[in-house]
Amino acid sequence: MLRELIKVHPDRHIPRPVSAEEPLKFLQVCRLWREIAMTCPSLWTGIQINEPTDPQFYEACSNWLERARPLPLSISLHGFVDEPMEGLLKRFAGQIGRLQLYIPNDTSLYNVEQQGPFPSLQTITIRYSKEANEDSEMSDDSDSVDVFRDSIIDLLLAAPSMVECSFHLIQYATNLERDREVHTSLRHLRLGMPSAGYYPSRSSAKILLYLKLPALETLHLANVDISTGDFVSFFSESGCAATLQALHMTNAAEWPPFSRELLSLCFRPFAALKTLEFFHGDFIVLSEVLSSAQDLLPNLNHLLLHGYRYFGSRDNPSDWKALLDMLLSRGTARNGSLQSLKAVCMTLPTETDLDLEVLLRFRELVKEGMSIHIGTWYRNLI
């Protein structure tokens, strides 16, 4: 029965070393279950450590991970990375395939990076943890990790097999004096949480100033705190603009200057881009750019726009018209590349304010096969 449980649930959540949870509770059922569990490596490939504790605890964690050999490990650390934890990471550095760091400060990030290299590491998540900060001796009132060292860049370089990397609430507090470093395998980079309404967790995009990522396919930017010139330069020097598949800019509202010419310049290289998410106070400008330059983003399939001003009333009839013209210029779902549009605003007009002729045309496009959502997150006027 235990072997069947293991077969059915081969990739559970990362477990904690608690006797009431798997896999430790399997050891308490009977001698047979204990023998099976102790000799099944897949049960011991992940561990979640929530706070610093005594060296004996880390020895128990080491024994836990030892049972997983030779399988890749998933380790989730919550709290300050102290000396015993450094030793644990050093011991299994060559076996770690997935690493989650919920850290209180820059020192913990440096302590992790120093335990490399991590040749098998493919996925890493680094996130500021306020709870960890409160428990740390170096506690402060910050709501993000300010990075003063080269730790993030050096950690990426210490993991040459890295495919996916996520940073949440990580800010660069100073400019680094170093040239761009090349990472040839990183395909997915997330700087900040996915868009969640209008308050995404923000992380600095300044890391792009120090990297070349030729294999990049997906980029999430929750805080565009670099200039348009630096934005274009990153893609030009990385050589990934022509192969980028998805670009999510969930807080471009503070990205100055904002004009049709600069938007066209920034998005012109993305010939293969299929998904674009763009958050700006006035996304109509982008709609007009896409409408007038049909060779811009020629393979775009999915477009998600965010705005926060009053949308589509009789006082702003051009809102609806600009979106409709953009869709019509790109072709219908049957004969064009664009398959879906989602335009989300904080407030909407009443039914009596709508341009009904344009609204009916949108609905005709839906009947022809295009997916269209215009409204709030929870209400689609189409």
Q: What is the 3-state secondary structure (H, E, C) of 172-204?
A: ECCCCCCCCEECCCCCEEEEECCCCCCCCCECC
Mean pLDDT of 235-264: 79
- pLDDT, tens digit (0-9, with 9 covering 90-100), for 208-231: 989 999 999 999 988 777 888 888
Q: Which of 8-22, 25-39, 246-260 has the lowest mean pLDDT?
A: 8-22
Backbone angles phi, psi at 283, to 5 degrees: -80, 0
Closest CA to 341 of 369, 311, 308: 369
Measure Cα distances from 85 to 53, 92, 130, 254, 324 in Å: 9, 11, 20, 39, 57
CB 171, CB 115: distance < 8 Å: no
Least confident of 42-51, 127-136, 155-164, 247-256: 127-136
165 or 330, higher pLDDT: 165
Contact 192, 166 (CB under 8 A): no
Q: How far apart are CA 327 and CA 319, in angstroms?
A: 13
pLDDT tens digit sequence for 290-313: 888 778 888 899 998 877 555 555
User: How large a percentage of the chain has pLDDT more than 90?
Assistant: 20
> What is the spatial distance between Cα 346 and Cα 306, in angstroms, rounded to a whole number?
9
Query: Using CB atoms within 10 A of its CB, is residue 53 exposed (0-12), middle (13-18) or buried (19+)?
Result: middle
- Higher-confidence residue of 206 and 142: namely 206
Instruction: Determine the Cα–Cα distance for residues 169 and 192; give it in Å rounded to an integer.
Output: 6
Q: Is 73 helix (H, G, I), strand (E, B) or coil?
A: strand
Check the CA dihedral 307-373-269-124 and report its sign.
positive
Q: Per-residue pLDDT for 182 more than 50?
A: yes
> What is the length of the chain?
382
Average pLDDT over residues 355-377: 85
Confidence of residue 379 (pLDDT cuts 50, 70, 90): confident
pLDDT of residue 350: 60
Residue 107 binned pLDDT confidence (cut-offs 50, 70, 90): confident
**Per-residue pLDDT, 5:** 42
Please report the pLDDT score of residue 60 as a whole number: 80
Backbone Cα Rg of the chain: 24
Give dist(CA 41, CA 24) in Å, integer.
13
Cα distances (Å, whole numbers) of residue 229 to 175, 263, 289: 17, 11, 19
pLDDT at residue 160, rounded to an integer = 95
* Average pLDDT in the chain: 78
Residue 263: pLDDT above 50? yes
Q: Which tokens is 4 given? A: 């069947």
C-alpha distances (whole Å) from 326 to each of 157, 249, 283, 313 are: 42, 20, 12, 19
pLDDT score for 123: 95
Closest CA to 155 of 218, 101, 217, 85: 101
Per-residue confidence (pLDDT) for residue 139, from 0 to 100: 42
Point out which residues pair with 380 in neighbouring strands: 375
Q: What pLDDT does 34 receive?
A: 75
State the pLDDT at residue 168.
Answer: 86
The residue among 168 and 14 whose pLDDT is bigger is: 168
Whether the predicted pLDDT of 145 surpasses 80: no
Helix (H, G, I), strand (E, B) or coil at 380: strand
pLDDT of 141 > 50? The answer is: no
Q: What is the pTM of this model?
A: 0.85
Cα(53)–Cα(379) distance, rounded to whole angstroms?
49
